[in-house]
Amino acid sequence: MTAAVANALEARRLPRWAPAATAVAAAALAYVVFALGGVLGGGPVLTVVGAVVFFLAGLALASGIVEGSRAARNRIATALIYSAFTLALLPLVSVVFTLVSKGTARLDAEFFGHSMRNIGPQDNSGGAYHAIIGTLEQVAIATLITVPLGTGGAIYIVEYGRGRLALAIRFFVDVMTGIPSIVAGLFILAFWVLIVSPHLSPDGLPFYSGFAASLALSVLMLPTITRSSEEMLRLVPVALREGAYALGIAKWKTIMRIVLPTALPGIVTGVMLAVARAAGETAPVLLVAGGGAGINFSPFHGLQNSLSIFIYDQAGSASKYAPARAWTAALTLVALVLTLTIAAKLLSRRNKLR
């Protein structure tokens, strides 16, 4: 009697190896039908798609017969989710693979120690030192400009903003988020390079600069940072603010010492997303910093290159040595962004308690 009750909860299950076996069988079937048999024209893509379809159908059939329809639907849903995940991962893996396999050819000291000055189409040497300096300086300045402005704006919107002004600011932030990067570049070109910079140079002529690129990048980063910081600040529970107020802590101190630290990891993530995007921007930087082959340490005067411009130049160059330089620069850019992101994550976690 008791045994029967216990058994009522049990159901027939497919053996553990069933999905794997189905997958192998489906792959074999697809190979025979499409790759060897050439049904529907054949080809590798059709073979893979066919294998997936056979797998789903076979699994549904087996599970439906043995386990019943509810379990079969569960298995199909699980399989679909895994397929979607694999599909989403594919481009990422292939990008990383391509970058690493093609980018290592010029991964040498020359690349990180020299610029492209006096490098002709016949030369296999030359490097991206000047571009790395440019990217680092431009992104650093843009971050210095946008982080205080962006988080400050978010704090205003969340903590102080009431009524029309806050609504208007939020609206403009939303509009700014949609500005194409080339428009930001054109704006800085027209405003900073052509109108402001002549007043700053001794000869009264407009000039390119890395700083102008920083300004253009700032226009792009500011709305992202404001928006993500705003969301993060809103997630901080009201109870924490009230707890601080009830201790007689002033509002600004509550914000600086209680609310901001609580929201910090999320804010850092938002900043890093903005930085990553800015580091890869090409068009606006090209418009206002101009590129150039030589090393220019000063972001405030003269042509300055950046990794993304470097990639653009090398990829379009006729020299047979240029593509390798472009790939290595691309690898460097990705590694740089990745390193910055990891460093920022570690830093923001460090002041979290153990």
Partner 1 sequence: MAKRIEASGISAYYGAFKAIEDINMVIEPKSVTALIGPSGCGKSTFLRSINRMHEVLPGARVEGKLTLDSQDLYGRDVDVTAVRRLIGMVFQRPNPFPTMSIYDNVVSGLRLNGVRRKSMLDTACEKALRSANLWNEVHTRLSRPGAGLSGGQQQRLCIARAIAVEPQVVLMDEPCSALDPISTLAIEDLISELKNQYTIVIVTHNMQQAARVSDRTAFFSIDKTGDPGRLIEYDETNKIFTNPSVKRTEDYITGRFG
Give residue 287's identity as a one-letter amino acid code.
L
| Cα separations in angstroms, 55 against 18, 46, 165 | 11, 14, 58
Minimum distance of partner 1 from residue 254's CB (angstroms): 8
Sign of CA dihedral 176, 181, 183, 185: positive
* Shortest Cβ 255–partner 1 spacing (Å): 11
Nearest distance in Å: CB 353, partner 1: 4
Collect all residues with Cβ–Cβ distance below 8 Å to 161 and sequence separation of at least 6.
167, 169, 170
| Residues, the chain | 354
Which residues on adjacent β-strands are paired with residue 290? 304
Cα 313 to Cα 130, 144, 284, distances in angstroms = 13, 28, 15
Give alpha helix (H) positions in 104-195.
Answer: 109-113, 129-155, 164-177, 181-188
Considering the complex, state which of residue 225 and residue 260 has its C-beta at the smaller distance from partner 1: 260
User: At closest approach, how far in Å is the CB of 9 from partner 1?
Assistant: 33
What's the closest the beta carbon of residue 178 comes to partner 1, in angstroms?
Answer: 30
- Give the binding site for partner 1 (CB under 8 A): 162, 237, 239-250, 253-254, 257-258, 261-262, 264, 351-354
Helix (H, G, I), strand (E, B) or coil at 42: coil
